[in-house]
Amino acid sequence: MKIVILTHSSFSHVNAIENTVKSLCKKYEVFCFLEEEYINIYGEDKNLHYIAYHKALDKQLKELLFRHNPFIEKKDVPTIGDLVAEVKYPLEYMLEGSMIYVNDLLPIIKQINPDYILRDACSLFGRVIGDQLNIPVLGYTTSPTFTDLFVESHLRKYLPFSLKRELDTLSDEQINSLYTMIKKQFTQTCTKYGIRTLPLNYLTCPDEKMNFCYGSKRLNFIAQEETKKYLFMKPKIFEVPERIENNKDTIVVSSGSLINFPVKLYNYIINAYKKEPYQVEISQKYFGTDVFKITNLPSHIHFHKYIKQTELLQRAHLLITHGGYNSILEAIYYEVPILVYAITHDQFINSQRIEELNIGFDLRHMELSGYNINKISHKLMDSVEIKEHIKDLKSEIIALHNDEVRKYIDEDYVNGNL
């Protein structure tokens, strides 16, 4: 049996599925499409074939982004029509970009003639290729899955996360009308490109016949009636032998590798911990350059361009993060409470879930100051209840397996569903 895997071209996406790839290689012939820099990332195996995306694709995407960017200027007081337009234009860009990949990859995948395609939620072209070649597609996410059915069952609460907009001024009737109009727009746009309609949260909701995601159900946003469409897999870090220091003496501040915190937040953090006994290790990719300079730091507060986050978390009392999913999983594994300051994409919904699970606090829910950050930090670090919630969640994730996709394919094949 042959399986094609189409993944998004970033390290976190590629790295997250390593154990899944290795599990599939035990039994099947696997073809991984990756950016050239990630070739051989899963090691060598007689059943594993690496195929690099053509470099020309990246150039074409950059040219496409130049034509589409900015997608649309967001208005301070938008009408419902404005909100619909705000989701239409990024979708147009994603679909036009996907068709570039479809045209390039379709002949190659047709020649491979796989029995299954596994595709990252961000790899929309995998959905299109599967449909065109009549190949079963399994979708997966390396961030929390956020399905439309879940949003529909909590529309006022969760639609704002999908749109990255506050909707407090809209009535329930207006919110329902807005959602209906957006879904209609998605159908029209996808029909224009001749593809199956995508869900509103298409970057975190593959919406295939079967999907898989990493972490327990409680970390994902999936309606109860669709749980049979999702397999929950053990994240890679939870396969590592446990290493947690008893001597916790550090506060870790992880700014992110793409977009950093606003400068004022660093000032608040310095003021929050300048008289504390902890080592404070802060990542800021522009530290030491003309973009970001800081002087007269207390001796126990250190800035770095990059940090070895998992090593620091082993002895951390607290993690301050933008709310990326990998950081959340690492904090749970090392049993560290989380302060989150979301910046973009799925980080906002992640911060919501951190509070719902009572494993941390969203800094956007309070007035920022050194005093307030210090106060909430101690509340988290001293809370036995929060630490117990983290341990319960960790145990739940450790109980998961990594062979679920292989088992599903085995069963699907035996039942003659191919």
Within a 10 A sphere around the Cβ of 90, how many other Cβ atoms?
15
CA pair distance 360, 27, nearest whole angstrom: 41
Segment 388-397 shows an average pLDDT of 96
Q: How far apart are CA 58 and CA 60, in angstroms?
A: 5
Q: How far is CA 222 from CA 359, 371, 375, in A?
A: 20, 37, 34
* Greatest CA separation for the chain: 69
- Using one digit for the tens of pLDDT, what is the confidence trace for 338-348? 999 988 778 88
Distance (Å) of CA 307 to CA 10, 285, 407: 19, 10, 37
Q: Which is higher by pLDDT, 135 or 70? A: 135
* Contact partners, residue 374, CB within 8 Å, separation at least 6: 272, 273, 276
Burial (CB count within 10 angstroms: exposed 0-12, middle 13-18, buried 19+), residue 13: buried
Q: Would you say residue 209 has pLDDT above 80?
A: yes
Question: What pLDDT does residue 257 have?
Answer: 62
Q: Which two tokens stand for residue 57?
A: 């694709």
Hey, which bits of 220-327 come out as E strands? 230-233, 250-254, 279-283, 301-304, 316-321
- Residue-level pLDDT at 17: 93
Cα–Cα dist 234/399, whole Å: 8
Higher per-residue confidence, 101 vs 402: 101
Task: Look at residue 52 and tell me whether its pLDDT is greater than 90.
Answer: yes
Among 275, 284, 299, smallest CA distance to 377 is for 275
pTM, full prediction: 0.90
Residue whose tokens read 């589409």 = 68
Tell me what the mean pLDDT of segment 386-407 comes to. Answer: 94
pLDDT averaged over the chain? 91
Query: In this structure, are residues 126 and 39 in contact, taking their beta carbons and an 8 Å threshold?
Result: no
Cα 5 to Cα 33: distance, rounded to the nearest angstrom: 6
Note the pLDDT of residue 263.
82
Which range has highest mean pLDDT (48-52, 80-84, 289-293, 309-313)?
48-52
Q: For 211-264, what is each residue's pLDDT tens digit?
A: 999 999 999 999 999 999 999 999 999 987 776 666 788 999 998 665 678 888
Task: Give the residue-averaged pLDDT of 28-54.
Answer: 95
Long-range contacts of 374-382 (CB under 8 A, 24+ apart): 374/272, 374/273, 374/276, 376/339, 377/251, 377/272, 377/273, 377/318, 377/339, 380/318, 380/337, 380/338, 380/339, 381/317, 381/318, 381/337
Whether the predicted pLDDT of 361 surpasses 80 = yes
pLDDT category, 9, cuts 50, 70, 90?
confident
Percent of the chain with pLDDT over 70: 94
Q: Would you tell me how many other CB atoms lie within 10 Å of the CB of residue 263?
A: 11
CA-based radius of gyration for the chain: 22
pLDDT tens digits for range 276-328: 999 999 988 777 676 667 777 899 999 988 889 989 999 999 999 999 899 99
More confident residue, 74 or 357: 357
